[in-house]
Structure 1
């Protein structure tokens, strides 16, 4: 039979058969010998050893179309990055680091801002302005007031989506509305440090409807940019592409050069200064790492 791994705990991999049954499976020793570790999201072939108990063995992992390290998942169609409008306020640098990671894997991204009920109504325009000309889909919702959820359901339909973001922004609450059977634990935001408490402790894929899966992941508060050189960073900021055609030098990295189309676009507000400042910070970080 074929199925999809939706959870892995204590040596067992829980495989959904694509219909209405989940089997607790063991991975055969051949995977260890080949240094293959099954991941949540993997499409697999498995044998049923006990139908009544819902047990089986994974016999092969089918080819992956992509693979992420953080969270450790495979075969993702898109990533929905969830931040809060307020409580906690968005950490734009952290958000941009996650966007870079998804751009590296070629995974489409949806930016989702929750807790609009706590805002003053001006956030949608301001936040869209920060990500102008990036091409990212942006949506706003209030899980508490059940506003904006139909748009979310339409975005998710027919795809496997990774739900990611910092702790305390409402990811688990959103999951509980989309799939009440998930029963995800939710936590409050610390008033002192304005960070959420980690309530999701492992990566799990939830079946919503036909060919629609939603992956809830543990919250994060930091992320390193890995696998690229400082000179390549510009390629992961989509809004740089058009203005860079006006740079004097074809290898311009948009930092110290005088005749730079990207820097000019920042001055003309075609590129948000917040995004450009984050670019500079990450660029210097990568440059220092290479030097070290």
Structure 2
């Protein structure tokens, strides 16, 4: 690989950061990508199956960092079931752009290409969901290395070792990021976690108590909305997990 030359160091504006730990077990912030317009969170319909709770964590991290986020279900050529359709419907109702794609059949690639045109976009998600393959489909000249799925674990093998930024022929940039297997929020207080779920916005402030945790408090408008079917129960459980983990 030819040596690079640094022409200019731009100031960092927004950054997607996760919690990491040092050898001394001290939590620190680890920046994954910075100075973007949007992030596409990628899951796959098969090999591996979607981890919706992990998708929720990534979306919450995007919101905490101030990034617009999209949800992409890749490998739909393997088929999608009713549960996947339901989950994607909840994301669409929450206001996220939703994409169904296959780099094999090219389904949904034109729409995804339009969504990233003229913008700086990072693709993130677990290993093996096809992030690099998607980028190759969007911009064929990239020729990024792609990996295989481990037969023993059904998890992806890392092929992208560090974040890389690539220019698009029609304007904008794409960032390929290493596959993630875990993610903890960084620098987010418990009281702000509900703000990271956009569909909660219509119900926040309607609880009986102003400092409602939306977990055990009586008179919680969010829990009532879940019971009525106005909010996704599974997404709500993701909120509870983030809240209790914090």
| Distance verdict in 2 for CA 1:104–1:207, change over 3 Å | same
| Distance verdict in 2 for CA 1:124–1:140, change over 3 Å | farther
Q: Alpha-carbon deviation of 1:277?
A: 0.8
Q: In the aligned structure 1, how far is the partner of 2:31 from the partner of 2:107?
A: 28
Q: Alpha-carbon deviation of 1:66?
A: 1.6
Quick one: which of 53, 65, 87 aligns to 2:47?
87
Quick one: which of 188, 210, 214 aligns to 1:228?
188
Q: In the aligned structure 2, how far is the partner of 1:250 from the partner of 1:189?
A: 47
Contact 1:132-1:271 within 8 A present in 2 as well? no
The alignment covers a number of residue pairs equal to 234
Q: Alpha-carbon deviation of 1:138?
A: 0.7
Q: Deviations over 1:225-248 (max 9, x none)?
A: 111122221111111111223311
Q: In the aligned structure 2, how far is the partner of 1:274 from the partner of 1:130?
A: 10
Corresponding residue SS for 2:168: strand
Give the CA RMSD over aligned residues: 2.0
- 2:91 counterpart of 1:131: yes
Contact 2:139-2:169 within 8 A present in 1 as well? no
| Corresponding residue of 2:16 | 68
- 2:215 counterpart of 1:255: yes
| Distance verdict in 2 for CA 1:71–1:198, change over 3 Å | farther
TM-score when normalising by structure 2: 0.88
Q: Deviations over 1:31-56 (max 9, x none)?
A: xxxxxxxxxxxxxxx3xxxxxxxxxx
Contact 1:115-1:143 within 8 A present in 2 as well? yes
TM-score when normalising by structure 1: 0.75
Q: Alpha-carbon deviation of 1:75?
A: 1.5
| Distance verdict in 2 for CA 1:282–1:242, change over 3 Å | same
| Distance verdict in 2 for CA 1:230–1:271, change over 3 Å | same
Alignment of structure 1 residues 241-252 onto 2, 5 Å: 241-252=201-212
Q: Alpha-carbon deviation of 1:132?
A: 5.1
| Corresponding residue of 1:25 | 5
Q: Which has the higher contact order (CA 8 A, sep 6+)?
A: 2
Contact 1:130-1:274 within 8 A present in 2 as well? no
Structure 2 unaligned regions, length at least 5: 18-29
Q: Alpha-carbon deviation of 1:121?
A: 5.1
